[in-house]
């Protein structure tokens, strides 16, 4: 082959590769534009300035930006996941029903793409101004050890600085910056995440301005969340305010049913549950709330029928299965549950775990049932999982100790029971009567060798 022919072949091959590459870029570029078009205005997290003292410890700007985004993801996951499992509240169903496209898209200045390039592309293609976030971490005092973090959010040319985050631990400052970013763009979910972290006051701080002066649609949600966060016997005031804004607000109706049940006003609880069911018959939450009200009022069989309706719906939910399991494993007419009833209970708890692998009480109750069925190794595994998920619940720890006792580790079991009674003395009081077998487990601590 002549040299000229070879050069032509190479040139044509090069053109083909270049054309193919440009086509791929166009496809991926169109994908980015299409996704961005249907989402909220993008948020770009730019540099976070770091003092020299922190840079020497490895805290570079790009690392801190990535850490902030990682912490933000933790908060978002926490808000979207029920940490307690069990008989779930309506907040998960409510927030999961919102389209993910409505969530703010927050990205970092990473991957070799400059902030100016992203901003220019968004301005040119979408005719939108991206929200630019930058920040800094600096020493709070010249000679002190504490650090202060700040975020600046620029939208439509106006700067809105978030509150300062101050701590002796720079990692806590980073977490605070991430939460402030979350709360700025998604305050309702941020409040839910704070509540689930046990930071009640932080959750109330986020909700307070929305409750006071938010738009009606946001305000009703904030009132409902405030009722959950604040708790107390007067939480119905917040729920009634939410229902005054929207009488068909499903989560508030379910919460009112649960509140009325807690106050032993069962007729009112059933009425609120019926309203919730009428509005959303495809959700198990209304049926669960009605079932609990009926069960607590003494009409157990009617409650069981409501739980069965909830479990028959296509959406997997642990709540109804846990309630059914509790019904099967309870004593009837003073007689312990039969082995067949215990097997039915175990089956329901297994379904609850399948519906939500974080359903703590499903593991705990299943451990008790497995112990009663003398499947002690299975009981130990289930009990250990319950304790792993919630180390602050003494019932789980006592049930795990019982399995150790039956497996022959009596000294270890007794020591564990005594430790639980020391750390949680209240468990030996009236609360012990709420859970089958707990009194007998406590008695094992004084069992003769």
Angstrom distance (rounded) from CA 396 to CA 384? 8
Q: Is residue 164 part of a domain?
A: yes
pLDDT tens digits along 374-410: 999 999 999 999 999 989 999 999 999 999 999 999 9
Mark whether 42 and 175 lie in a shared domain.
yes
Residues counted in the chain:
449
- For residue 29, pLDDT over 50 is answered with no
Mark whether 181 and 328 lie in a shared domain.
no
Q: How far is CA 19 from CA 15, 79, 246, 351, in A?
A: 6, 45, 57, 54
Instruction: List helix spans (H) across 280-315.
Output: 284-297, 300-312
- For residue 47, pLDDT over 80 is answered with no
Angstrom distance (rounded) from CA 391 to CA 409? 21
Angstrom distance (rounded) from CA 254 to CA 273? 6
Listed in sequence order, the residues at least 6 apart from 76 whose beta carbon sits closer than 8 Å to its beta carbon are 182, 186, 189, 193
Q: Is residue 221 part of a domain?
A: no
The CATH number for 390's domain is 1.25.40.10
pLDDT tens digits along 161-215: 677 778 878 888 888 888 988 888 888 888 888 988 888 999 999 999 999 988 8
Burial 199-236 (b: 16+ CB within 10 A, else e): beebbbebbeebbeebeeeebbbbbbbbbbbbeeeebb
| Mean pLDDT confidence for 16-43 | 36
How many domains are contained in the chain? 2
Instruction: List helix spans (H) across 163-283.
Output: 170-185, 187-196, 200-213, 216-230, 235-245, 250-262, 266-279
Mark whether 43 and 181 lie in a shared domain.
yes
With a threshold of 0.95, does the pTM exceed it?
no
Q: How far is CA 318 from CA 160, 219, 338, 350, 360, in A?
A: 43, 30, 23, 9, 10
pLDDT at site 39: 40
| Mean pLDDT confidence for 125-149 | 71
pLDDT at site 30: 27
Instruction: Give the best-scoring range by mean pLDDT among 1-15, 38-52, 270-284.
Output: 270-284
Angstrom distance (rounded) from CA 91 to CA 81? 10
Top-confidence residue, 93 or 222: 222
pLDDT at site 314: 85
pLDDT tens digits along 227-250: 988 877 778 999 999 999 999 999
Listed in sequence order, the residues at least 6 apart from 355 whose beta carbon sits closer than 8 Å to its beta carbon are 316, 317, 318, 321
Residue 330 carries which DSSP code?
S
Instruction: For residue 222, give the 3-state DSSP assignment.
Output: helix
Q: Is residue 242 part of a domain?
A: no
Q: Is residue 107 part of a domain?
A: yes
The CATH number for 104's domain is 3.40.50
Give me the domain span that covers residue 328. 316-449
Q: Please report how many Cα atoms fall inside a 13 Å half-sphere around the Cα of residue 6, on the Cβ side.
A: 3
pLDDT at site 61: 79
Q: pLDDT-derived band of residue 41, with 50, 70 and 90 as boundaries?
A: low
Lowest mean pLDDT among 5-14, 58-67, 273-282, 365-374: 5-14
- For residue 22, pLDDT over 90 is answered with no
Q: Is residue 276 part of a domain?
A: no
Q: What is the DSSP string of 9-20?
A: HHHHHHHHHHHH
Q: Please report how many Cα atoms fall inside a 13 Å half-sphere around the Cα of residue 164, on the Cβ side.
A: 9
- For residue 253, pLDDT over 70 is answered with yes
Q: At what angle do helices 61-80 and 187-196 cross, to 10 degrees?
A: 80
Among 172, 198, 224, the domain boundary falls at: 198
Q: Is residue 42 part of a domain?
A: yes
Among 198, 226, 253, the domain boundary falls at: 198
Among 198, 222, 252, the domain boundary falls at: 198
Q: Is residue 439 part of a domain?
A: yes
Is 147 within 8 Å of 135 (Cβ atoms)? no
Mark whether 327 and 191 lie in a shared domain.
no
Beta strands (DSSP E) in 18-108 are: 43-49, 106-108
């Amino acid at each position: 082959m002549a040299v000229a022919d070879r050069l032509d072949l190479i040139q044509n091959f090069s053109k083909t590769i270049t054309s193919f590459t440009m086509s791929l870029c166009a496809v991926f570029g169109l994908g980015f534009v299409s996704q961005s078009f249907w989402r909220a205005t993008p948020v770009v997290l730019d540099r976070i300035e770091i003092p020299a003292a922190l840079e020497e410890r490895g805290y570079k700007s790009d690392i801190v930006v990535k850490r902030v985004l990682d912490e933000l993801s933790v908060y978002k996951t926490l808000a979207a996941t029920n940490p307690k499992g069990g008989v779930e509240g309506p907040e998960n169903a409510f927030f999961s029903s919102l389209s993910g496209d409505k969530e703010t898209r927050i990205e970092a200045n990473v991957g070799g793409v400059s902030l100016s390039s992203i901003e220019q592309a968004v301005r040119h293609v979408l005719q939108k101004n991206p929200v630019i976030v930058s920040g800094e971490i600096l020493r709070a005092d010249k000679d002190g050890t504490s650090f202060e973090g700040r975020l600046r959010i620029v939208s439509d040319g106006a700067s809105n600085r978030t509150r300062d985050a101050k701590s002796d631990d720079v990692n806590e400052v980073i977490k605070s910056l991430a939460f402030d970013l979350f709360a700025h763009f998604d305050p309702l979910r941020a409040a839910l995440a704070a509540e689930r972290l046990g930071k009640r006051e932080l959750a109330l701080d986020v909700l307070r301005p929305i409750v006071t002066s938010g738009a009606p649609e946001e305000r009703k949600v904030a009132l409902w969340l405030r009722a959950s966060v604040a708790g107390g016997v007067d939480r119905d005031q917040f729920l009634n305010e939410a229902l005054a804004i929207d009488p068909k607000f499903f989560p508030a109706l379910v919460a009112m049913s649960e509140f009325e049940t807690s106050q032993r006003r069962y007729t009112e609880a059933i009425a609120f549950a019926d309203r919730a069911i009428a509005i959303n018959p495809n959700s198990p939450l209304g049926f669960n709330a009605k079932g609990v009200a009926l069960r607590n009022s003494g009409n157990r069989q009617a409650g069981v029928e409501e739980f069965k309706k909830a479990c028959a719906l296509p959406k997997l939910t642990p709540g109804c299965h846990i309630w059914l399991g509790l019904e099967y494993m309870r004593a009837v007419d003073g007689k312990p549950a039969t082995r067949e009833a215990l097997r039915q209970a175990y089956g329901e708890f297994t379904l609850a775990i399948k519906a939500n692998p974080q359903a703590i009480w499903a593991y705990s109750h299943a451990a008790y049932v497995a112990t009663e069925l003398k499947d002690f190794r299975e009981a130990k595994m289930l009990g250990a999982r319950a304790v792993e998920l919630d180390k602050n619940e003494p019932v789980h720890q006592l049930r795990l100790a019982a399995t150790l006792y039956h497996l022959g580790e009596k000294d270890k079991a007794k020591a564990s029971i005594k430790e639980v009674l020391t750390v949680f003395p209240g468990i030996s009081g009236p609360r012990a009567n709420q859970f089958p077998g707990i009194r007998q487990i406590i008695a094992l601590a004084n069992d003769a060798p």
